[in-house]
Amino acid sequence: MIYVFLFGLIMGSFYNVVGIRMPKRQSIVSPGSSCPKCGHRLKAVELIPVFSYIFLKGRCRECGERVSPLYPVMELITGGLFLMSYVQFGWSAELLVSLLFVSLLVIITVSDLTSFLILNKVLVFFFVPLLFLRLTFAAPEPWWLTVAGMLTGFGLLFLVAVVSKGGMGGGDVKLYAVIGTVLGFPLVVMSIFIASLIGALVGVTGMLFFGKKRKSPIPFGPSIAVGTLITYFYGAQIWQWYSGLFM
């Protein structure tokens, strides 16, 4: 299991690069990582996920510029989610679905936090293999729940976008088509509910403690990611608990 976690740390480091560079239309391959202030090209010892951040005390080795904690946080989250996927699904087709799904949600979280963007290229890249898996090796029973989830996710968020007159970004709408494909129906509805609740709590917290205005832009992608992951890993248990309240 330790190998799965370490693999997740490494991929989390790469996903940080993807989520930060792609919205800026920069290559994710070259040039290598460097300090945004002094341009110092990071060496191998400075690129070890999480450990380099701790060893260098969160600062550039050359100029002392503070490094965003987003990097080690997302690396740890990715490693933890990869490990969680393996523990829950073992070596199965669903593990591949889970790793792809987690990867997508990590990337869109980083890109939305740093650029307020959820890129179509990223969505399409993950949508194709996820749809294939959901219709073949990791299909739900019955299979049409995948299609129903995709249409429901896209349709509900599109309706919200129309009613709110731009209050919901187009990236969020298309993202939920992918989420619906993985979660299926009716879990996609639970994901929307939990994500909306989290988003509302984030908004209220921002206004009460961080001076955010009511119309201040707040990235909804991270709330979607958290609500979706809760639903993906624990949706069945949540639904069983909720149903038990009325029996």
Residues 116 and 238 in one domain: yes
- Cα separation, 229 vs 231, in Å, equals 5
Last residue of a domain, one of 91, 109, 124: 91
Residues 115 and 85 in one domain: no
Residues 226 and 118 in one domain: yes
Average pLDDT over residues 182-195: 95
Average pLDDT over residues 134-156: 95
What pLDDT score does 214 carry? 65
Residues 38 and 57 in one domain: yes
Residues 245 and 131 in one domain: yes
| Between 13 and 240, the higher pLDDT residue | 13
Indicate the pLDDT class of residue 31, thresholds 50, 70 and 90.
confident
Average pLDDT over residues 60-69: 83
- The mean-pLDDT minimum among 55-64, 83-92, 185-194 falls in 55-64
Of 13-27, 94-108, 197-211, where does the model show the most confidence? Answer: 94-108
Last residue of a domain, one of 63, 91, 119: 91
- Cα separation, 86 vs 1, in Å, equals 8
Residues 84 and 100 in one domain: no
Residues 107 and 132 in one domain: yes
Residues spanned by the domain of 35: 1-91
Average pLDDT over residues 216-241: 90
Asked whether residue 167 carries a pLDDT value surpassing 70, the answer given is: no
Indicate the pLDDT class of residue 203, thresholds 50, 70 and 90.
confident
pTM confidence score = 0.93
Residues 119 and 229 in one domain: yes
- Cα separation, 141 vs 164, in Å, equals 35
Residues 105 and 81 in one domain: no
| Between 160 and 216, the higher pLDDT residue | 160
| Between 165 and 232, the higher pLDDT residue | 232
Residues 7 and 51 in one domain: yes
Residues 28 and 111 in one domain: no
Query: Total structural domains in the chain?
Result: 2
Asked whether residue 19 carries a pLDDT value surpassing 90, the answer given is: yes
Asked whether residue 166 carries a pLDDT value surpassing 80, the answer given is: no
Residues 13 and 112 in one domain: no
Indicate the pLDDT class of residue 204, thresholds 50, 70 and 90.
confident
Last residue of a domain, one of 91, 121, 154: 91
